[in-house]
Amino acid sequence: MKRSVLRNVGIPLLSLAVLLGLWEAIVVIFNVAPYIMPRPFDAIRAVTDNWSLLWPLVLGTIQETLYGFACGALLGLGLGVVMAKVPFLQRSLYPLLVLSQAVPVIALALPLVLILGFGRTPIVFIVVWVVFFPVAVNTFDGLSHVDQDLVNLARVFGASRRRTFLQIEIPASTTSIFSGLKIGATYAVSGAIIGELYASDGTSLALYQAHANANLNAAGVYGTTMVMTALGISWFLLVVGTEVLLTPWQRRSVARRALFRRRADVVVSTVQH
Amino acid sequence: MSPSTLLQLRDVGKSFAETVALEPTSLNIEEGSFVAIVGPSGCGKSTLFNVIAGLTAPDSGEVRLGDQVVTGATGHVGYMLQKDLLVPWRTVQDNITMAARLTRRVTDDDRNEARRVAERYGLGEFLRHYPSALSGGMRQRVAFMRTLVTHQSLLLLDEPFGALDAQTRLEMQQWLLQVWKETGRTVLFITHDVDESIFLSDRILVMSPRPGRVIADLENPLARPRTLDTLTDPEFIELKSRVMHLLHGGGA
């Protein structure tokens, strides 16, 4: 266990440190001017020094991402299910979904502002727009590839369609669904930032960065980028963590006793060993 | 229909497009018997099973179970394939209670029964394991327990040991005979292994392809209990030779 923690956390942290070291080295060796590329330490300090100013903006971005991701994931799940279950809707909806993703997100922002005005709503809308697609496609794929023999077995046992769906098809698709959610999570923060740049009503993380840029504050620009990146990674890790919690069978050979006990009080006493 | 007939097929036939998968077939299966169906691939064995299980509606004929007509209806047989079809996200115990979970709420009685069956048949220590932790033979045993606790009197087993190595397969056959003897279920067992069909059954139906049909219905005279010696018994060899000839032409 200790060893795997070291491998799973230690190695990524090490490569991050190497990346920052490379950045530092490039600035020093090539003598890059600070208004083009500051040192990583200066970029980090630009963040910590202005944290009280940045924090409300970061919170705003988190909220937009949260709302957009939640709505986008639900919409994607719903569309994936509907397409997998109704062939007519699959044929009619799938091309529209692909079309929706052919629209450049930036080109989507301005019409959205015209329709919805400046503020949170168009930003959340953009996040929904970039999140729902990978979730819908992966949910659809997962449900379409459930082993038909397993579905038939459920039928032979006399299962209703609803129970077969909930007990067999959905759990059998979890890996695919989480693939969609993970891709969606990496897009979500980017979507929110693009939205903020075009549609926010005055204060936002993206506009903060634009101001820093206008003031020739390179450290502020780079620092904000680092904050945005950290948000994106955190969001992705949150989804991965949820997957790990919800799919214990992927990593364990024996169910946790706590999990098992809840479902079978009577049995636990006899299988202590 | 004699009082001890559990399953009765009357002129059950099925075609897919131009292909006759199963010629109109009539059969009576006695309650508590172990009937093996042997034949090459494409002889309609699986079609026959799917019709009995209700997965496939026959073009003609009638399926009766006890005194009920069950043609085209599901939920009245136990069913098991070569693929164990255990769900990886459930523990062994929860896989055994799967049929209950698919039709109603799982009760403590279901869990206790799963535990009893697992303990009785040597998997009591694995109740909390996920299927990925089990060997092929153990997985098939769990799949069979899942079939057993459906409490259906008729069990359809479609090459359940087909994917196992010879050693494990022989163990599983002996194990199956033990369970069958203790539970008194009626078993229809598909295989293309002639030895297996003779070792296990009371009666052997030999099928042939294009069109799929039953070409012979043989009583199996071998005494029970069957042991390793059964496999070299002269009667065994004689019956085997008959079935082989039926399967590969040349008459019996």
B68 and B178 in a single domain? The answer is yes
More confidently predicted of B3 and B248: B248
Given A150, A155, A255, which is nearest B130 (Cβ)? A255
B131 and B158 in a single domain? The answer is no
A14 and A98 in a single domain? The answer is no
Q: Does the residue A259 lie in any domain?
A: no
Among B95, B120, B151, the domain-final residue is: B151
B40 and B158 in a single domain? The answer is yes
Among B151, B180, B206, the domain-final residue is: B151
> What pLDDT does B2 receive?
53
CATH number of A210's domain: 1.10.3720.10
Closest CA to A193 of A31, A21, A68: A68
Closest CA to A191 of A122, A95, A145, A246: A122
Judged by a CB distance cut-off of 8 A, whether residue A121 touches chain B is no
Q: pLDDT (tens digit, 9 = 90+) per residue, B120-165?
A: 888 889 999 999 999 988 999 899 899 989 888 999 999 999 888 8
Contacts of B130 in chain A (CB under 8 A): 249, 252-255
Q: Which residues make Cβ contacts (< 8 Å) with residue A84, sequence separation at least 6?
A: A90, A139, A140, A143, A144
Judged by a CB distance cut-off of 8 A, whether residue A156 touches chain B is yes
> Among A28-32, A267-271, B196-200, which stretch is predicted with the lowest mean pLDDT?
A267-271
Q: Does the residue A126 lie in any domain?
A: yes
Q: pLDDT (tens digit, 9 = 90+) per residue, A232-271?
A: 999 999 999 999 999 998 888 888 776 665 454 444 444 4
Helix axes A87-102, A120-144, angle to 10 degrees: 140
Q: Does the residue A260 lie in any domain?
A: no
What's the pTM?
0.85
Domain that residue B229 falls in: 1-77+153-252
Amino acid type, A158: G
A122 and A79 in a single domain? The answer is yes
Q: Does the residue A60 lie in any domain?
A: yes
Chain A nearest CA to B126, separation (Å): 8
Q: Does the residue A68 lie in any domain?
A: yes
Tell me if B74 and A156 make a contact (CB, 8 A cut-off).
yes
Check whether A168 has a pLDDT greater than 60: yes
Tell me if A149 and B127 make a contact (CB, 8 A cut-off).
no
Check whether A272 has a pLDDT greater than 70: no
Average model confidence (pLDDT) across chain A:
89
Q: Does the residue A261 lie in any domain?
A: no
Residue B196 C-alpha from the chain's centroid = 12
> What pLDDT does A1 receive?
53
Judged by a CB distance cut-off of 8 A, whether residue A161 touches chain B is no
> What pLDDT does A52 receive?
92
Percent of chain B with pLDDT over 90: 52
**DSSP class of residue A254?**
B
Given B55, B87, B101, which is nearest A155 (Cβ)? B55
A73 and A103 in a single domain? The answer is yes
| Dihedral angle sign, alpha carbons of residues B226, B231, B237, B241 | positive
> Among A161-175, A254-268, B9-23, which stretch is predicted with the lowest mean pLDDT?
A254-268
Given B81, B89, B111, which is nearest A264 (Cβ)? B111
Q: Minimal Cα distance from B100: which residue of A?
A: A157
Q: Minimal Cα distance from A175: which residue of B?
A: B89
Given B53, B99, B128, which is nearest A255 (Cβ)? B128
- What whole-number distance in Å separates Cα of residue A12 and Cα of residue A236? 14
Domain that residue A144 falls in: 36-252
CATH number of B227's domain: 3.40.50.300
Check whether A2 has a pLDDT greater than 80: no
Residue ranges of alpha helices (H) inside A145-217 are: 148-156, 161-164, 170-172, 174-199, 205-214
B157 and B233 in a single domain? The answer is yes
Q: Which strand ranges, in their side-by-side order, compose the sheet holding B5-16? A: B19-30, B5-16, B60-65, B68-69
Q: Does the residue A271 lie in any domain?
A: no
Average model confidence (pLDDT) across chain B:
89
Check whether A132 has a pLDDT greater than 90: yes
Between A and B, how many residue pairs show a Cβ–Cβ distance under 8 A?
Answer: 101
Tell me if B130 and A174 make a contact (CB, 8 A cut-off).
no
Q: How many domains does chain B have?
A: 2
Token digits for A207?
């506009």
> What pLDDT does A269 receive?
40
A15 and A64 in a single domain? The answer is no
Q: pLDDT (tens digit, 9 = 90+) per residue, A33-70?
A: 988 999 999 999 999 999 999 999 999 999 999 999 99
Percent of chain B with pLDDT over 70: 98
A22 and A110 in a single domain? The answer is no
> What pLDDT does B250 receive?
52
Among B151, B170, B199, the domain-final residue is: B151
B219 touches B203 (CB < 8 A): yes
Contacts of B53 in chain A (CB under 8 A): 156
Closest CA to A123 of A192, A63, A74: A192
Per-position b or e across A49-84, b if 16+ CB within 10 A of its CB: ebeeebeebbebbbebbbbbbebbbebbbebbbebb
> What pLDDT does A19 receive?
92
B167 and B52 in a single domain? The answer is yes
Chain A nearest CA to B156, separation (Å): 11
Check whether A177 has a pLDDT greater than 80: yes
B199 and B224 in a single domain? The answer is yes
DSSP characters over chain B: --TTEEEEEEEEEEEETTEEEEEEEEEEEETT-EEEEE--TTSSHHHHHHHHHTSS--SEEEEEETTEE-TT--SSSEEE-SS----TTS-HHHHHTHHHHHHS---HHHHHHHHHHHHHTT-GGGTTB-GGGS-HHHHHHHHHHHHHTT--SEEEEESTTTTS-HHHHHHHHHHHHHHHHHH--EEEEEES-HHHHHHH-SEEEEEETTTTEEEEEEE----SS--GGGGG-HHHHHHHHHHHHHHHSS--
A15 and A85 in a single domain? The answer is no
Of chain B residues 109-128, which have a CB less than 8 A from chain A?
A: 111-112, 114-115, 119, 124-125, 127-128
A98 and A156 in a single domain? The answer is yes
A143 to A138, A139, A146, A168, B86: CA distances (angstroms): 8, 6, 6, 10, 18
Q: pLDDT (tens digit, 9 = 90+) per residue, B29-40?
A: 999 999 999 988
A26 and A48 in a single domain? The answer is no
B160 and B240 in a single domain? The answer is yes
Residue ranges of alpha helices (H) inside A86-118 are: 87-102, 105-116
Tell me if A159 and B102 make a contact (CB, 8 A cut-off).
yes
> What pLDDT does B20 receive?
86
B194 and B241 in a single domain? The answer is yes
Q: How many domains does chain A have?
A: 2
Judged by a CB distance cut-off of 8 A, whether residue A151 touches chain B is no
B44 and B55 in a single domain? The answer is yes
Check whether A273 has a pLDDT greater than 70: no
B180 and B228 in a single domain? The answer is yes
Q: Does the residue A186 lie in any domain?
A: yes
A149 and A15 in a single domain? The answer is no
> What pLDDT does B89 receive?
94
Q: Minimal Cα distance from B147: which residue of A?
A: A157
Judged by a CB distance cut-off of 8 A, whether residue A267 touches chain B is yes
> What pLDDT does B3 receive?
54
B241 and B158 in a single domain? The answer is yes
Question: B36: which strand partners?
Answer: B189, B204
What integer is the mean pLDDT of A199-225? 90
Given A155, A247, A267, which is nearest B127 (Cβ)? A267
Of chain B residues 212-231, which have a CB less than 8 A from chain A?
A: none
